A and B are shown apart, each in its own frame.
Chain A
Amino acid sequence: EPEVTQTPSHQVTQMGQEVILRCVPISNHLYFYWYRQILGQKVEFLVSFYNNEISEKSEIFDDQFSVERPDGSNFTLKIRSTKLEDSAMYFCASSEAGQFNEKLFFGSGTQLSVL
């Protein structure tokens, strides 16, 4: 089965530094998402992206966050100035047509540790 790939699997950074998390969604999928899971907490929606635009974003997704699809295959999440509380597992996901009643395909995640 096709899969969503994320790199790196682990990222350690210093507080205040910029990080870019990378994802390659499934090739024929049109909708892309970022979720995060802080240790011991629920998986939380961050942002959805379609047609080179943000479709929806959560309150978590403030000005420190941005997403981009720089080419036909990659989808990135940038955190401009990381904070300790940004430490979490970040999941990229994609879906084929962005319809209700459609499943999401998740990557294995990037564990971000902010020191």
Chain B
Amino acid sequence: SQQGEEDPQALSIQEGENATMNCSYKTSINNLQWYRQNSGRGLVHLILIRSNEREKHSGRLRVTLDTSKKSSSLLITASRAADTASYFCATADNAGGTSYGKLTFGQGTILTVHP
């Protein structure tokens, strides 16, 4: 698999349910970030978790990071129809000389929340 692979590729749930998306990566990272993209729009930063952190919360978002398994998960609790979007994980590699804003994105998970 390639750096930053999400699964599932598509997720369809009912409003009020929780949505969990997973991301795997291959290299040593400095941090992992999750972004959201509404159809035809730009990427919006949701949350960043550093390589020395295991879990982070922000509102209805919960992110976990397991560096031993090179994986992360994004949990959206009590989902709303407005959460319908594509969600991407992106890693900042820990390679020497890598510029700070060089992110490697995954393929993304398309989340549909039905009202």
Contacts and interface: CB of A to CB of B under 8 A. Distances in A.
B43 interface: yes
Q: Classify the secondary structure of B's interface with A.
A: strand
Q: Classify the secondary structure of A's interface with B.
A: strand
A22 B62 CA distance: 35
Interface residues of B, number: 27
B39 to A, nearest CB: 11
Interface string A83-115: 000000001010100111111111111000000
Given A101-B30, A101-B31, A103-B33, A109 B102 contact: no
Interface string B88-115: 1010100001111111111110000000
A99 B102 CA distance: 11
How many chain A residues sit at the interface, stated as a range, is 20 to 34
Given A42-B106, A42-B108, 4 more contacts: A48-B99, A48-B102, A91-B42, A105-B45
Given A43-B43, A91-B43, A103 B102 contact: no
> Which of B4, B33, B48, B103 has the largest number of chain A CB atoms within 10 A?
B103
> Which of B44, B88, B100 has the largest number of chain A CB atoms within 10 A?
B100
Contact of B48 (A41, A42, A55, A101): A101
B101 A104 contact: yes
Contact of A42 (B31, B44, B99, B105): B105
A98 B105 contact: no
B4 A100 contact: no
Nearest to A41: B107
Contacts of A101: 30-31, 48, 50, 92
